[in-house]
Amino acid sequence: MGRSVTEIRAMKAEKKKITVLTAYDAAMARLLSDCGVDALLVGDSLGMVVLGYDSTVPVTMDEMIHHAKAVRRGAPDTFIIGDMPYGSYQTGVRDAVLNGIRFIKDAGCDAVKLEGGVSVCPVVKGLVEAGVSVMGHIGLTPQSAGQLGGYKVQGRGLDDARRMLYEARALEEAGVFSMVIECVPDSLVKVITESVSVPTIGIGAGIHCDGQVLVTHDLVGMFEKFTPKFVKKYANLSPLIKEAVTAFHDEVRAEKYPEEEHSFTSKVDYRQLLDE
């Protein structure tokens, strides 16, 4: 049975590390939930990993809902977080609440995630007041990577670090049940993790977070376009897939596939049809 917001929050005090992985379709969602992963994130990384965009910026609400529905069908009992795409929460609290509610009502998500600190606190409050559980996301926020100067480590300098700690505290105050911290020096993440009561979920944020999140395609070696330093490839599926597909291609060309065991046979002589 899946976890709840209460259970996920409690895991911080229990010092039980939380695992979160991305899922964009029912097949992967089923595999991940079978492994006991604590929560699935329908990330807007969808745009880069499966839709072929160069950033997460073009991803739409409709695309997110379409994939979140598939993830819910594949993992009916797992805690699922819908990642609010760029444009779905920047135009006002009302729009953000309407879009957040779509993740819950239309797609069956348990919570939503959105990027930013102090500037998104009114939106976080609005969503929480509307009954939507919200996960924050600070550090490297890919939807604003343009302003950050690319996909770079955040919070290295003391001033940036102080600001990040302030943003984390503001998000907690606004009511997030957890927050993602992305691409931040591990010693700063330790300070932030000790300063907030809600679980921190790191990606490229070191060992001191209360949990870890990765893009599933990165960890199984199915995304070849780039590999961030924080990724550990627990498997390398791309060469395996290419090997299998090449074998299929060669066997079809060589007329070795399909064999009789892959075919449907019959004793009827259908050649008589040619004489009719």
Ligand X SMILES: CC(C)C(=O)C(=O)O
115 in a labelled binding site:
yes
**Backbone phi, then psi, for 17, in 5-degree steps?**
-65, 140
User: Tell me, what amino acid is at 94?
Assistant: R
Distance CA 220, CA 235 (A): 5
144 in a labelled binding site:
no
243 in a labelled binding site:
no
x/- map, 135-164, ligand MHF, by CB under 6 A = -----x-x--------xxx-----------
Question: Which of 43, 51, 53, 149 shows the shortest CA–CA distance to 103?
Answer: 43
Choosing from 79, 89, 177, 223, the residue that interacts with ligand MHF (CB under 6 A) is 223
82 binds, among ligand MHF, ligand X, Mg ion, none (CB under 5 to 8 A by kind): none
113 in a labelled binding site:
yes
Catalytically annotated residue among 173, 182, 194, 276? 182
Per-residue CA distances from 37 to 31, 179, 269 (Å): 10, 17, 54
Per-residue CA distances from 100 to 58, 114, 175, 275 (Å): 18, 10, 15, 65
Q: Is residue 213 close enough to count as binding ligand X by CB under 6 A?
A: yes
C-beta of residue 127 within 8 angstroms of C-beta of residue 120:
no
x/- map, 229-258, Mg ion, by CB under 5 A = ------------------------------
Q: Is residue 143 close enough to count as binding ligand X by CB under 6 A?
A: no
Active-site residue, 259 included: no
263 in a labelled binding site:
no
C-beta of residue 85 within 8 angstroms of C-beta of residue 44:
yes
x/- map, 106-125, ligand X, by CB under 6 A = --------------------
Distance CA 233, CA 191 (A): 28
Q: Is residue 105 close enough to count as binding ligand MHF by CB under 6 A?
A: no
User: Tell me, what amino acid is at 123?
Assistant: V
Q: Is residue 180 close enough to count as binding ligand X by CB under 6 A?
A: yes
Distance CA 139, CA 89 (A): 18
Q: Is residue 41 close enough to count as binding ligand MHF by CB under 6 A?
A: no
Q: Which residues are catalytic?
A: 182
Sequence ranges of the binding site for 3-methyl-2-oxobutanoate:
44-45, 83, 113
